[in-house]
Amino acid sequence: MKRQIIDTIEKYDKIIIHRHVRPDPDAYGSQSGLKELIKANYPDKQVYAVGKHEESLNFLAQQDQVDRSFYEGALVIVTDTGNTERIDGEFYTEGDLLMKIDHHPDADPYGDVKWVNTSSSSTSEMIYSLFEEGRESYGWKMTTDAARLLFAGIVGDTGRFLFPSTTVTTFNVASELINFDFDRTELFAGMYEVKRELLHLKGYMYQNFTMDDNGAAFVKLNKATLEQFGVTASDTSQLVGALGDVQGICAWVIFIEEEDQIRVRLRSKGPVINTLAAQYGGGGHPLASGASVYSWEEVEEVITKLKQLCM
């Protein structure tokens, strides 16, 4: 598979890489990490990483602008995105060939060439293994910038090597990547420094979450609460894991009210919860997934279903 991917990359002069909406460090890391690797090893190719830039990821990378006409005859690669609805960018179908590289469950097997590995901690870890194949068979070199991006993606998706998706391979890859001379302290600051307001909201969350005897927990963060704490809906992505530290917790859901929807962020320590997310048009990993609902009645439904999963 990896050989086929590299052979395909070798064939195209124009390559456009997409990733999912609401990007996180693995989306940016796998997308821009792959871009840097291709650029470094094939300097004559035109390679672009596209999508709506996320300001909070300024420290990681920027995004490129590509005209629709550029897609003609191009290879389009989508990283870290399980389903087409979550692909950021409108023209991804307009290239010559579409390739999916992802570690989410393959609920939507789009693309002409597809490489999905759900046992990989992150898509960035998959890109590193693509690099290993490239190194062995095609003489690929790693660069400091690609190493920094891939490391960030792995750290982000493993919750700093804490989640059970972290494997021996993950640590081996990380230990290879830190041989490169990037500033890890700066990277961690970019990823984990929190606004003071967010810490206050975290305190609110710890005070206001509800948990039943089976460890099913939830907390609702409505618009008024977010405003009161001066925190945006997207800032809250840094809080989702926090409830995982609560003793006896089984699975939890955080509801975040946005302008036109209520974001449902689900996490679990045991029961598979992406099936619940899928019932509301969402998806993700078995133990970390998300969806959107459009009323507080649906919120109550999700809570009831989560409680059933923990029984």
Rule CB under 6 A: which residues touch ligand AMP?
20, 82-83, 86, 104, 237, 240, 265, 282-285, 288-292
Tokens representing 295 are 């009323």
Identity of the residue, 41 or 289, whose beta carbon is nearer to ligand AMP in the bound complex:
289
The sheet with strand 97-102 has its strands ordered as 46-49, 14-18, 75-79, 97-102, 113-116
Identity of the residue, 82 or 89, whose beta carbon is nearer to ligand AMP in the bound complex:
82
**Least distance CB 39 / ligand AMP (angstroms):** 26
Identity of the residue, 83 or 268, whose beta carbon is nearer to ligand AMP in the bound complex:
83
Amino acid present at 81: T
Could you tell me which residues come within 8 angstroms of residue 136 by beta carbon, excluding any fewer than 6 positions away?
A: none
Q: How many other CB atoms are there within 10 angstroms of residue 258's CB atom?
A: 13
**Least distance CB 266 / ligand AMP (angstroms):** 7
44 neighbors 13 (Cβ within 8 angstroms): yes
Identity of the residue, 47 or 127, whose beta carbon is nearer to ligand AMP in the bound complex:
127
How far is it, in rounded angstroms, from Cα 52 to Cα 145? 21
Which residues on adjacent β-strands are paired with residue 166? none
**Least distance CB 83 / ligand AMP (angstroms):** 6
Q: 6-35 burial, b if ≥16 CB within 10 A, otherwise e?
A: bebbeebebbbbbbbeebbbbbbbbbbbbb
**Least distance CB 207 / ligand AMP (angstroms):** 22
**Least distance CB 139 / ligand AMP (angstroms):** 34
Identity of the residue, 153 or 283, whose beta carbon is nearer to ligand AMP in the bound complex:
283
